[in-house]
Chains A and B, each alone.
Chain A
Amino acid sequence: MVDLGYFSMLIAVVISVYGIVAAAIGERWNKTELVRSAENSAFVVAGLLTIGLAVLFYSFLTHNYRLAYVASYSSNDLPLVYTISALWAGQEGSLLLWGWLLAVFTVIVILQNRRQNRALMPYVVIVLMIIILFFLILITFITPPFKKLDILPADGQGLNPLLQNPGMIFHPPLLFLGYVGFTVPFAFAIAALATGRLGDIWIRSTRRWTIFSWFFLGIGILLGAQWAYVELGWGGYWAWDPVENASLMPWLTGTAYLHSVMIQEKKNMLKVWNIILIILTFVLSIFGTFITRSGIISSVHSFGQSALGPFFLIFIGVILVTAFGLLVHRLPFLKSTNELDSIVSRESSFLFNNLILIGVAFSVFLGTVFPIISEAVRGVKITVGAPFFNQVNVPIGLALLFLTGLCPLIAWGKASGRNLRINFLSPFIIALAGGVVLFAVGIRKVYPLIAFTLCIFVLSTIVLEYLRGVNARRKMTSENYLTAFTRLIWRNKRRYGGYIVHIGMVLIFLGIAGSAFNAEKEVNMSRGESVRLRDYKITYEKLVSYPTKSKDVVSATLSISRGGKRLGFLSPSIETYKGQGETQTGTEVAIRSSLKEDLYIILAGYKPDGVSASFKLIINPLVNWIWIGGFVLALGTIVVMLPDRREKRRLLIKYSREVFSDEI
């Protein structure tokens, strides 16, 4: 059974090599059958990887500890969901999952393009298969998930208790969907360069893939943040840890790409820029895995370190050289057909948004790799931490927030005074009034005040835009408000869905800005004693301890009240896992969550008899809005991704000629 997994991988290596060669020959000598055969070989590879994944899955379910990977990451008493998620708890399984996802995506791409993009497809298949082959080589020869142990252990080593959290079930696979998904637009970009078909067909064809990847990468990051928020020792929802930064960088360049392709679609500009952005996004996805897996930069999330670093580095080098080589080769054909006209225009505001996003990505990159650079240059490791990233990125982030309000509504070409007045005068006044009110109620910190004011500004531009749209429909059709509202979105999903995504981002900004008003306190309390934190009164009531099947739990009970009103109890606890070998403790924080703020309590220590205990009490204002923003973002993305018949018809007219010439 286990050997089946290994041999599937081995055969998949051979077949993907065949697929790459067949597609190349088929393209070179115009042999359609060979290209089709290469496409079919991708199906076989996907099938073989599915078998591999299924074997590993089955081995986990049946606790087959003959397999080193299963023995390392699971145990008999591990709950079923975590036994399943142990599949991606380690490097071997993660890489297998990565390869499998990419193979499945490749199959979908091939099916989508059975009758279109035939000129691009050989190259798309070659690029995708080469990347699959890279992962196949890693999981077949370098870190095989199907490695067997010489002896059969009675039980596995279990999954690290820190990973036994709902975050473990969703965060890694969703992140992978994002990382892997960006491979598709990248492959199309390379195909466009290789064939010289540099119009926006490759962008149009991969629009949904781009949004899909961007979305899952973002949601994956947010879920990771949520997990880190409740997990002690990971420094809150965002600590600017290298591994966290590694996931943020492709998201930033991906966001830039998502925006700048709109300029190419509308205006036929920024062609080179778009190709650079998608190359960067893909390379940063791989680079993220490199940072995570190589352990080259110290991180609180550092995963089992391995010898994979050099492989990834070489792979990244090859991709960069090939991609940019092709780009330079095609440079003469990538002239824009339009020119930028005015600084105050949609095009230029998109361009500035892009520059800022890339600037952020660059500063995050520099801060992340700084220890390596300084060691190479000066022989001493110098690090920059959270203060660096905050100092740099907060002002840039605010500029970005401002552009979020500006970009979607400013006129193409050259914005007239009238355009600016109609779209921005009232939001500007509302935001200004809001800012004054916030200042009056006592918000005096500069950055948060600007952030809140800008949030109001962006939200009111969007609300105003919706109102205008609804009113326009009502004038023409005499629909009621609700119908007009839903039809407005339904008939222009890209535009109005995009606004919803922006609302989600604004809410996330709001939640992040709230962190400027955190309050915290470390206290030791005797039983019955109370402390105050802001307007909360927190009383230590009692300490209880009890064993469960897999752990010993010590749980404190605190009663919470505010302004004389009882709000209930919170029970932070410390759990000691009974696993084999060394004991592992897990601190379960207790959170009282509301839209205004979270009261977050950690049990830091206790006297065994419970006479006194130590706590860390934290107030995290507005943090819930980050997660709410995530939901809104998801909603908007779904709207944007829904099929749009009108859009399709428009495209069909625009591209009928190109598609026709494609068929010849």
Chain B
Amino acid sequence: MNINFKSKKSKFIIAGVIILGIIGYLTYAGIRDTKLYYLTPTEIVNRGSGVYGEKMRLGGVVTAGSIEYDAQTLTLKFVVTDNTNSLPVIYKGVVPDTFKNGVEVVVEGTYTSKGVFKAVTLLTKCPSKYEPES
């Protein structure tokens, strides 16, 4: 390809490349700065001490009967499982309406050396209907 830097077209190509370059860089830097592992309880347990204190997401199902909520301090304790391994989670804050036994959750926070996952955000998947147990 023949690029003549004096031609009109090349000016636009340069401007366009600059814009796309900036957007590309922002995207790259964004991913670099904010990326989080999304792990299951088993994956976290297997990695063990290697991931202590690292910010990550944990996905799984809330074990039935494991929910304890202290309305006074807004502290929620529950267990997340992938049916192979389970992890206790502690979360402080407002609990979404859809949070209950057996629901799929994604929590964001850190896995501590005590084997507890300290969550700062709690997301629940909202099914569009009552899921009948079948």
- Whether A89 lies near B129 (C-beta < 8 A) is yes
Residue A562, interface by CB 8 Å: no
- Whether B72 lies near A392 (C-beta < 8 A) is no
Q: What residues of chain B lie closer than 8 Å to A352, measured between beta carbons?
A: 15-16, 19
Q: What residues of chain B lie closer than 8 Å to A391, measured between beta carbons?
A: 26, 29-30, 33-34
Q: What residues of chain A lie closer than 8 Å to B126, measured between beta carbons?
A: 160, 162, 233-234, 300-302
| A522 vs B120: C-alpha distance when bound (angstroms) | 14
| A339 vs B8: C-alpha distance when bound (angstroms) | 9
Q: What residues of chain A lie closer than 8 Å to B67, measured between beta carbons?
A: none
Residue A638, interface by CB 8 Å: no
Number of contacting residues on A, CB 8 A? 72
Which residues on B are within 8 Å of A, measured CB to CB?
Answer: 8-9, 11-12, 15-16, 19-20, 23, 26-27, 29-31, 33-39, 43, 57, 59, 69-74, 92-101, 104, 106, 108, 123-130, 132-133
| A343 vs B59: C-alpha distance when bound (angstroms) | 49
Per-position contact with B for A131-173: 1 when CB-CB < 8 Å, else 0? 0000000000000000000000000011111110000000000
Which among A363, A606, A612 has the highest number of chain B CB atoms within 10 Å? A363
Select which of B26, B29, B72, B96 is within 8 A of A614 by beta carbon.
B72
| A385 vs B59: C-alpha distance when bound (angstroms) | 14
Kindly report which residue of chain A lies nearest to residue B73, judged by CB atoms.
Answer: A524
Q: What residues of chain A lie closer than 8 Å to B16, measured between beta carbons?
A: 351-352, 355
- Whether A233 lies near B97 (C-beta < 8 A) is yes
- Whether B73 lies near A303 (C-beta < 8 A) is no
7 A–B contacts from the bound complex (CB under 8 Å): A391-B33, A579-B130, A584-B100, A586-B97, A604-B94, A605-B71, A607-B71
Residue A585, interface by CB 8 Å: yes
Kindly report which residue of chain B lies nearest to residue A396, judged by CB atoms.
Answer: B23
Q: What residues of chain A lie closer than 8 Å to B71, measured between beta carbons?
A: 524, 604-607, 613-614
- Whether A359 lies near B23 (C-beta < 8 A) is yes
Given the interface pairs A233-B98, A233-B99, A339-B9, the reply to whether A160 lies near B129 with Cβ below 8 Å is yes
A499-547 residues with Cβ-Cβ distance < 8 A to B are 522, 524
Q: How far does the Cβ of A210 sit from chain B's closest Cβ, in whole Å?
A: 24
- Whether A385 lies near B8 (C-beta < 8 A) is no
Label chain B's interface by main secondary structure.
mixed
Q: How far does the Cβ of B21 sit from chain A's closest Cβ, in whole Å?
A: 10
Which residues on A are within 8 Å of B, measured CB to CB?
Answer: 72-73, 89-90, 157-163, 231-235, 298-304, 339-341, 343, 348, 351-352, 355-356, 359-360, 362-363, 366-367, 370-371, 380-385, 387-389, 391-392, 395-396, 522, 524, 579-582, 584-587, 602, 604-607, 612-614, 616
| A370 vs B34: C-alpha distance when bound (angstroms) | 12
Q: What residues of chain A lie closer than 8 Å to B124, measured between beta carbons?
A: 233, 300
- Whether A582 lies near B123 (C-beta < 8 A) is no
Q: What residues of chain A lie closer than 8 Å to B59, measured between beta carbons?
A: 298
Q: What residues of chain A lie closer than 8 Å to B73, measured between beta carbons?
A: 524, 614
| A301 vs B123: C-alpha distance when bound (angstroms) | 10
* 8 residue pairs, one from A and one from B, having the closest CB atoms: A605-B71, A233-B96, A359-B23, A381-B38, A388-B34, A392-B30, A387-B34, A383-B38
| A334 vs B98: C-alpha distance when bound (angstroms) | 53
- Whether A382 lies near B38 (C-beta < 8 A) is yes
Q: What residues of chain A lie closer than 8 Å to B133, measured between beta carbons?
A: 581
- Whether A363 lies near B23 (C-beta < 8 A) is yes
- Whether A384 lies near B36 (C-beta < 8 A) is yes
Q: How far does the Cβ of A519 sit from chain B's closest Cβ, in whole Å?
A: 16
Q: What residues of chain A lie closer than 8 Å to B125, measured between beta carbons?
A: 298-300, 302
Select which of A301, A366, A385, A584 is within 8 A of B34 by beta carbon.
A385
Which among A339, A348, A362, A582 has the highest number of chain B CB atoms within 10 Å? A582
Kindly report which residue of chain A lies nearest to residue B12, judged by CB atoms.
Answer: A340
Q: What residues of chain B lie closer than 8 Å to A157, measured between beta carbons?
A: 129-130, 132
| A343 vs B100: C-alpha distance when bound (angstroms) | 57
Given the interface pairs A341-B8, A584-B130, A605-B69, the reply to whether A362 lies near B23 with Cβ below 8 Å is yes
| A613 vs B72: C-alpha distance when bound (angstroms) | 7
Q: What residues of chain B lie closer than 8 Å to A299, measured between beta carbons?
A: 125
Select which of B12, B31, B97 is within 8 A of A162 by beta carbon.
B97
| A605 vs B99: C-alpha distance when bound (angstroms) | 14
Q: How far does the Cβ of B97 sit from chain A's closest Cβ, in whole Å?
A: 5
- Whether A384 lies near B31 (C-beta < 8 A) is yes
- Whether B94 lies near A616 (C-beta < 8 A) is yes
- Whether A605 lies near B72 (C-beta < 8 A) is yes
| A581 vs B130: C-alpha distance when bound (angstroms) | 8
Kindly report which residue of chain B lies nearest to residue A606, judged by CB atoms.
Answer: B71
Q: How far does the Cβ of A395 sit from chain B's closest Cβ, in whole Å?
A: 6
Q: How far does the Cβ of B98 sit from chain A's closest Cβ, in whole Å?
A: 6
- Whether B36 lies near A383 (C-beta < 8 A) is yes
- Whether A380 lies near B37 (C-beta < 8 A) is yes
